[in-house]
Structure 1
Amino acid sequence: MSLLNRIKDKNPQTVQEIHKQQPRPQDQQQNSSGRTVVVQEGQKKFNQKSSEQTEKQNKYRELKRILHNQILQELKETDDIDAIIPKIDEMAIDIIKENDQFKGSIDRKKVVEEIMNDLTGFGPINPLLLDEDVSEVMVNGPNQVYCERKGRLELTNISFRDNEHVLHVIEKIVAPIGRRIDESSPMVDARLPDGSRVNAIIPPLALNGPTITIRKFAKDPFVIDDLIHFKTLTQEMATFLDACVKARLNIFVSGGTGSGKTTTLNVLSNFIPNDERIVTIEDAAELQLGQEHVVSLESRPPNIEGKGGISIRDLVRNSLRMRPDRVVIGEVRGAEALDMLQAMNTGHDGSLATGHSNSPRDMIARLETMVLFAGVELPVKAIREQIAGAIDVIIQQSRLKDGTRKIVKITEVQGLEGDIIVLQDIFTFVQEGIKENGKIAGRLVPTGVRPKFYDQLENSGITIPPNVFINEGEWEA
């Protein structure tokens, strides 16, 4: 019995003949006044080409469906995917040989590649995840996939079969880490095996269909030299931040979505000495620390009964009982801000964290608001005293209009004067215009102010050359 006949026997709903349906060519037609209107040859060719493309797409989908069904049948018999993978190309060749409609019009290699991506990768978006130039992948339903390549958004020619195909990929991402997504829990944060961040949201909340956003991370984590090469910061700024981390100052990285906060936090953590115990706390584990003594904690959403959830705040409290030398919080977005500030003010120096804001001053205001989420009725002045005593440095990062990511401010929190928290910029980005290629022209420069904690650095045995804080010339961004 032939392979195609076996498929038909196992799956009665297999091959349906695809018939050409081309309208009978009409070279002439009559208009309302009786005059003859000649149909333009270009329009006829366009219609014919469109019909041929539709027919080819239908054949392509049919071949892929038949091949997929055959693989499912083989899996029922062997239950060993590794044994089937080498046979997939041979299966496709046999199907094409036994069915004339597939001969000469189907790219077999493309069909096999997509099937392989479904089985061993993450479906149609797998090539984007493997492309090192792509930093972000955005699936807006089954028919629209965007990617960010070198800081620019691009519409790709990738598509899924339907909503179920997108849901299958989401399930494949979230299942291994114990997360779930369904109508009762239609949003999920997850991660890929390489640490890339994933967010998914499905109907009825997502009107365009299941939506996936993947923030990729480099295979080899960036180091400070990479950020200098990308012109995210200068060598002087790197020297200053290195000293701040080693002197156990509390540092907060703020910025908008996609500005590179997590990457900068990861780079800063590389300055932590290898003999210290580090506890990281995240919603979805993303940080890739190179030290030997690292304990990674990850929050957990509640189960289907609404129980068992562990929040970032719970993990922050627990981390203080784990004898940490450093506490690194992936993102502060709620009531955990109060516990973080208390930890920083009670001997846990050298902590690192990130948060969303448009400027260092906005970050201070957001922290005040987040402390109030804890439900503790504290006067505003008491909250500001906590912030001023806890945080030493705020690093503001931005994604500029040309797609580049830069540290636009490094700001010292100098203390509280009256009811106002005093901030002083140490380094800043000065924009000078836009170049012909659309890139933003500007300079990253010191403001000339030496931070108040400079003596603290020297007492820690860390010396920063005074010229780091002096603008001796232009540095082209």
Structure 2
Amino acid sequence: MSLLSRIQEKKPEQKNDSSVEATQEETQDVASPKKDLMAVFRESRKSEAPKKKTNQSPVNKHQELKNLLHKQILQEMKEDEEIEAIIPNIDAMAIEIIKEDETFRGKVDRKRVVDELINDLTGFGPINPLLLDEDVSEVMVNGPSHVYCERKGKLELTNITFRDHEHVMSVIEKIVAPIGRRIDESSPMVDARLPDGSRVNAIIPPLALNGPTLTIRKFSKDPFTIDDLIQFGTLTAEMAMFLDACVKARLNVFVSGGTGSGKTTTLNVLSNFIPNDERIVTIEDAAELQLGQEHVVSLESRPPNIEGKGSISIRDLVRNSLRMRPDRIVIGEVRGSEALDMLQAMNTGHDGSLATGHSNSPRDMIARLETMVLLAGVELPVKAIREQIAGAIDVIIQQSRLKDGTRKIVKITEVQGLEGDVIVLQDIFTYQQEGVDERGKIIGRLIPTGVRPKFYEQLETSGINIPVSVFLDEEDWPV
């Protein structure tokens, strides 16, 4: 008996419903009422509208070969055998099936079928090539037939498709299951991470109307260094020298910016300035930071279980970290009531802490922190909250993703203190946009404002010497 015969022998017979479908179509034609003008208009609009891509076809030989291969793998795999052991034999199986069934010849790309099957078995299905592509920084699956990616800062529609909604769900479950997360109708949203630290968000029906939606923000396998950010134009060498000094002098630094602006990457780079002999506790929703120091304790929040219990929030972890004798506390993102505990920690001896948050400017970040403190449920007067913020945070780094896709630190701002009821901010470095070139790239430069920070003397007493020229624009340098 041939290989194809053995596989098909196990395949259940499918009923031929073509006659039933034909009868239904005839019935519909007879019963359909006379079309009015609005119906005609709608039909004409449908014909003008762009047709959506679909994977369903009467005879999908590509999928048929893939299914046959999958069944043959299941038949030939021995008990407790690793899937990697059978991967080298898949191509030979495909060749044998095609030899026995002439209908596959000329209609199926064998290499593509084998590659897709290997991606399904060992990776994350159709999107695996995008995850392996170093030029791709983000992958967005908006249902089975619409897969987008961000390549070199620009969004583009790919030719990658999934088989159906269940295929997308299987990939999502493959991502979240190993880290103890779950996603179903009772818990239709999840934040997770890939083994390389890339951030994953998934949302499924009934919340996602277009089907399971998956967003993956990739991180480099080798964490970016400060030299990489200088090369990308995210900041200048002078700004890097200044930030290095701020971290080593144990100033409290807050990185703010919009979604996708590069806050986590910058936080990771800043964390690498922390001396190797200090104890660091990192706190995140999904562990993404890749610190190179030896003494690092990574904490990760936990969502509630199926009964709605057992949740451990960022705020709980911040409180617990204070009992762990940390030299530095690094918070992946401050978005709620944990802001109060973070500010108290910064004001009670835990200097040199780092954190990120969402905002459009340093001033907006201050206002958001005030709001987040109020979420803690403690009735504090606004002035007391502002005193906490002014005493805790020393430097705010504002990062933005510009229209051409580039990510830049557009402001480094000092929090100088409280005057009356207003927190005084002073820009140390800023980004000056000068125009746009013929390729759509934004022309601009990062320049110092000429103002030395108030904590400059604190840097000197810490044994850190920064040339005064760092705070002056090249045009203002003395001749």
Structure 2 CA distance, aligned partners of 1:96 and 1:399? 50
Equivalent in the alignment of 1:9: 9
Cα 1:139–1:465 change in 2 (3 A) is: same
Equivalent of 1:230 in 211, 217, 232: 232
Equivalent in the alignment of 2:137: 135
Cα 1:144–1:129 change in 2 (3 A) is: same
Equivalent of 2:90 in 61, 64, 88: 88
Aligned pair count reads 439
Please show how residues 103-182 of structure 1 align to structure 2 within 5 Å: 103-182=105-184
Matched, 1:347 2:349: yes
Instruction: Kindly indicate whether the alpha-carbon contact (under 8 Å) linking 1:317 and 1:339 is maintained by their aligned counterparts in 2.
Output: yes
Instruction: Kindly indicate whether the alpha-carbon contact (under 8 Å) linking 1:413 and 1:421 is maintained by their aligned counterparts in 2.
Output: yes
Equivalent of 2:276 in 274, 277, 280: 274
> What SS is found at the alignment partner of 1:413?
strand
Equivalent in the alignment of 2:436: 434
Range moving further from structure 2, 104-113 or 280-289: 104-113
Question: For residues 297-346 of structure 1, what are the alpha-carbon distances to aligned partners after superposition, in whole Å with 9 as ceiling and x for unaligned?
Answer: 00000100111110000000000000000000000000000000000000
Q: CA deviation at 1:69?
A: 2.5
> What SS is found at the alignment partner of 2:214?
strand
Q: CA deviation at 1:55?
A: 6.9
Identical amino acids, percent of aligned pairs: 83
Equivalent of 2:324 in 322, 325, 344: 322
Equivalent in the alignment of 2:293: 291
Equivalent of 1:359 in 358, 361, 364: 361
Instruction: Kindly indicate whether the alpha-carbon contact (under 8 Å) linking 1:249 and 1:392 is maintained by their aligned counterparts in 2.
Output: yes
Cα 1:71–1:449 change in 2 (3 A) is: same
Q: Hey, which bits of structure 1, 4+ residues long, moved more than 4 A?
A: 13-16, 53-57, 75-79
> What SS is found at the alignment partner of 1:338?
helix
Instruction: Kindly indicate whether the alpha-carbon contact (under 8 Å) linking 1:332 and 1:355 is maintained by their aligned counterparts in 2.
Output: yes
Q: CA deviation at 1:56?
A: 9.9
Structure 1 CA distance, aligned partners of 2:202 and 2:370? 30
Q: CA deviation at 1:54?
A: 8.4
Cα 1:57–1:276 change in 2 (3 A) is: farther
Equivalent in the alignment of 1:380: 382
Structure 1 CA distance, aligned partners of 2:389 and 2:345? 11
> What SS is found at the alignment partner of 1:473?
helix
Instruction: Kindly indicate whether the alpha-carbon contact (under 8 Å) linking 1:8 and 1:14 is maintained by their aligned counterparts in 2.
Output: no
Instruction: Kindly indicate whether the alpha-carbon contact (under 8 Å) linking 1:129 and 1:216 is maintained by their aligned counterparts in 2.
Output: yes
Structure 1 CA distance, aligned partners of 2:302 and 2:235? 35
Equivalent in the alignment of 1:413: 415
Question: For residues 124-149 of structure 1, what are the alpha-carbon distances to aligned partners after superposition, in whole Å with 9 as ceiling and x for unaligned?
Answer: 00000000111110000111100111
Q: CA deviation at 1:445?
A: 0.4
Instruction: Kindly indicate whether the alpha-carbon contact (under 8 Å) linking 1:326 and 1:349 is maintained by their aligned counterparts in 2.
Output: yes
Q: CA deviation at 1:10?
A: 1.5
Equivalent in the alignment of 1:462: 464
Structure 1: runs of 5 or more not aligned? 19-52
Structure 1 CA distance, aligned partners of 2:345 and 2:7? 65
Cα 1:9–1:76 change in 2 (3 A) is: farther
Structure 2 CA distance, aligned partners of 1:135 and 1:13? 45
Equivalent in the alignment of 1:302: 304
Equivalent of 1:371 in 370, 373, 376: 373
Q: Which amino acid aligns with 1:418?
A: G
Question: TM-score, structure 2 length as denominator?
Answer: 0.89
Q: Which amino acid aligns with 1:160?
A: F
> What SS is found at the alignment partner of 1:188?
strand
Equivalent in the alignment of 1:34: none
Equivalent in the alignment of 1:24: none
Question: For residues 253-312 of structure 1, what are the alpha-carbon distances to aligned partners after superposition, in whole Å with 9 as ceiling and x for unaligned?
Answer: 000000000000000011100000000000000000000100000000010011111000
Please show how residues 393-412 of structure 1 align to structure 2 within 5 Å: 393-412=395-414
Structure 1 CA distance, aligned partners of 2:399 and 2:103? 56
Equivalent of 1:263 in 262, 265, 270: 265
Cα 1:80–1:228 change in 2 (3 A) is: closer
Instruction: Kindly indicate whether the alpha-carbon contact (under 8 Å) linking 1:56 and 1:106 is maintained by their aligned counterparts in 2.
Output: no
Cα 1:347–1:54 change in 2 (3 A) is: closer
Question: For residues 431-471 of structure 1, what are the alpha-carbon distances to aligned partners after superposition, in whole Å with 9 as ceiling and x for unaligned?
Answer: 11111110011110000010000111111111110000011
Q: CA deviation at 1:86?
A: 2.2
Equivalent in the alignment of 2:67: 65
Please show how residues 34-73 of structure 1 align to structure 2 within 5 Å: 58-73=60-75
Structure 1 CA distance, aligned partners of 2:14 and 2:93? 15
Instruction: Kindly indicate whether the alpha-carbon contact (under 8 Å) linking 1:15 and 1:62 is maintained by their aligned counterparts in 2.
Output: no
Q: Which amino acid aligns with 2:358?
A: H
Q: CA deviation at 1:5?
A: 1.3
Equivalent in the alignment of 2:250: 248
Instruction: Kindly indicate whether the alpha-carbon contact (under 8 Å) linking 1:248 and 1:351 is maintained by their aligned counterparts in 2.
Output: yes
Cα 1:89–1:353 change in 2 (3 A) is: same
Question: For residues 46-77 of structure 1, what are the alpha-carbon distances to aligned partners after superposition, in whole Å with 9 as ceiling and x for unaligned?
Answer: xxxxxxx9879711121112222222333476
> What SS is found at the alignment partner of 1:240?
helix
Structure 1 CA distance, aligned partners of 2:416 and 2:112? 60
Question: For residues 79-112 of structure 1, what are the alpha-carbon distances to aligned partners after superposition, in whole Å with 9 as ceiling and x for unaligned?
Answer: 5423322221122111111111101221101100
What value does the CA root-mean-square deviation take over the aligned residues?
Answer: 1.8
Q: Which amino acid aligns with 1:302?
A: P
Structure 2 CA distance, aligned partners of 1:353 and 1:89? 49
Structure 2 CA distance, aligned partners of 1:473 and 1:176? 56
Q: Which amino acid aligns with 2:185?
A: E
> What SS is found at the alignment partner of 1:114?
helix
Question: TM-score, structure 1 length as denominator?
Answer: 0.90
Structure 2 CA distance, aligned partners of 1:301 and 1:257? 22
Equivalent in the alignment of 2:51: none
Structure 2 CA distance, aligned partners of 1:105 and 1:339? 63
Structure 1 CA distance, aligned partners of 2:241 and 2:320? 33
Structure 2 CA distance, aligned partners of 1:130 and 1:360? 36
Structure 2 CA distance, aligned partners of 1:354 and 1:65? 47
Structure 1 CA distance, aligned partners of 2:457 and 2:13? 79
> What SS is found at the alignment partner of 1:193?
coil
Instruction: Kindly indicate whether the alpha-carbon contact (under 8 Å) linking 1:14 and 1:66 is maintained by their aligned counterparts in 2.
Output: no
Structure 2 CA distance, aligned partners of 1:106 and 1:451? 66
Q: Which amino acid aligns with 2:329?
A: V
Instruction: Kindly indicate whether the alpha-carbon contact (under 8 Å) linking 1:141 and 1:163 is maintained by their aligned counterparts in 2.
Output: yes
Q: CA deviation at 1:78?
A: 6.2
